């Protein structure tokens, strides 16, 4: 099974500490990776002849809620040649302050498609990606305040003196 092979490959290269946790009982099993190593791990999995994860299907930034104070990024990788998939996750604790965003490593060097996905995660959830070439807001205006997909987001009442009605 590809899940065990991925785990083996990662442990072989980075040691036991790379796997923080594993969610095996799900329909789509996921590996929780140490946030510092995510970019190297992705590069390894992309180029390893047993895995060939050449296609990043989806990258999601997640706010796990006010009680947990945890932010995460989920990577859905798939291999076109080998036809298998894996889910990688990284999580970080954070105090939710708007000046103290959670920082993850960018994987845009590994898959270029991550560039826009990460911009979206930055824009919507407020996750900062280190080494990203162009981390601007993508969907919202550049001067927007706050991150709408955070669970504690207060809906903006006006934008440039224009009242926002719902």
Phi, psi of 113 (to 5 degrees): -60, -25
Q: Which residue in 1, 16, 27, 157 binds another protein (CB under 8 A)?
A: 27
Binding residues for another protein restricted to 116-155, rule: CB under 8 A? 116, 124, 128, 130, 132, 134-142, 148-149
DSSP codes, 57-124: EEEEEEE--TTTTEEEEEEEEEETTTTEEEEEEEEEE----TTS--EEE--TTT-TTHHHHHHHHHHH
> Cβ of residue 165: shortest distance to another protein, in angstroms?
14
In the complex with another protein, the residue whose CB is nearer, 3 or 55, is: 55
Determine, following the binding rule CB under 8 A, whether residue 99 of this chain makes contact with another protein: yes
Residue partners of 38: CB distance under 8 A and separation at least 6:
73, 75, 88, 90, 104, 105, 107
> Cβ of residue 66: shortest distance to another protein, in angstroms?
13
Q: Which stretch binds another protein (CB under 8 A): 2-10, 11-19, 51-59, 156-164?
A: 51-59
Q: Which residue in 11, 12, 24, 58 binds another protein (CB under 8 A)?
A: 58
């Amino acid at each position: 099974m590809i899940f065990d092979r991925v785990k083996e490959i990662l442990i072989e290269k980075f040691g036991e500490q790379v796997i923080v946790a594993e969610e095996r009982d799900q329909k789509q099993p996921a590996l929780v990776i140490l946030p510092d190593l995510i970019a190297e791990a992705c590069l390894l999995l992309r180029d390893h002849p047993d895995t060939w994860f050449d296609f990043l299907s989806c990258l999601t930034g997640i706010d796990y809620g006010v009680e947990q104070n945890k932010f995460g990024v989920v990577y859905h990788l798939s291999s076109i040649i080998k036809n298998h998939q894996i889910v990688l996750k990284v999580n970080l604790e954070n105090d939710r302050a708007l000046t103290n965003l959670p920082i993850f490593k960018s994987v845009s060097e590994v898959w270029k498609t991550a560039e826009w996905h990460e911009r979206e995660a930055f824009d919507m959830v407020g996750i900062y990606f280190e080494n990203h070439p162009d981390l601007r807001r993508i969907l919202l205006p550049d001067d927007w305040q706050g991150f709408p997909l955070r669970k504690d987001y207060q809906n903006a009442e006006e934008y440039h003196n224009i009242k926002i009605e719902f």
